[in-house]
Amino acid sequence: MKSMLQRTINNIDRVVFGSKENYSFEHRFLNVASFLAASMALLGSASNLIAGLSSKLTIYTFAASLVFISTYLLFISKKWYLFSKSLFFSAIFLLLDILWYENGGVSGAILIVYLSFLVLSLLVWSGKQLIIIILLFSGNFLGLMYIEYNVPDLVIMYPSIEVRFYDIILTTFLFIITTSVIVLKTKNYYEKEKQRAILSDQLKTSFLANISHEIRTPMNSIIGFSQLLDDATDNERTEYIDNINKQGDILLKLINDIIDVAQIESDDIELEYSIIDINKLIIDLKKSFEQRIDQIGKEGLKILIDIPDSSEIIIETDVKRLSQILYNLISNAIKYTDEGAIKLGYKKDIDNIEIYVRDTGIGIPEKLQADIFHKFRKLNHNTDQKLYRGTGLGLFISNQLVKKLKGSIRVESKPNVGSTFYIKLPLNY
User: Smallest gap, in angstroms, from Cβ of residue 414 to ligand ADP?
Assistant: 10
Q: DSSP per residue over 159-207, as a string?
A: SSHHHHHHHHHHHHHHHHHHHHHHHHHHHHHHHHHHHHHHHHHHHHHHH
CB-based contacts of 267, cutoff 8 Å, min separation 6: none
User: Smallest gap, in angstroms, from Cβ of residue 285 to ligand ADP?
Assistant: 15
Closest to ligand ADP by CB, 9 vs 370, is 370
The closest residue (CB) to ligand ADP is 390
Contacting positions for ligand ADP (CB under 6 A): 328, 332-333, 336, 359, 361-364, 372, 377-379, 381, 390-396, 419
User: Smallest gap, in angstroms, from Cβ of residue 169 to ligand ADP?
Assistant: 57
What SS3 state is found at 421?
strand
Closest to ligand ADP by CB, 278 vs 333, is 333
Closest CA to 39 of 169, 172, 182, 174: 174
In angstroms, the CA 426 to CA 407 distance is 7
User: Smallest gap, in angstroms, from Cβ of residue 365 to ligand ADP?
Assistant: 10
User: Smallest gap, in angstroms, from Cβ of residue 213 to ligand ADP?
Assistant: 12
Closest to ligand ADP by CB, 33 vs 411, is 411
User: Smallest gap, in angstroms, from Cβ of residue 394 to ligand ADP?
Assistant: 3
In angstroms, the CA 332 to CA 277 distance is 24
Closest to ligand ADP by CB, 97 vs 412, is 412
Closest to ligand ADP by CB, 318 vs 359, is 359
In angstroms, the CA 337 to CA 363 distance is 9
Closest to ligand ADP by CB, 26 vs 339, is 339
Q: How many CA atoms lie within 13 A of 122 on its CB side?
A: 10
In angstroms, the CA 7 to CA 1 distance is 10
DSSP-derived secondary structure letter, 126: -
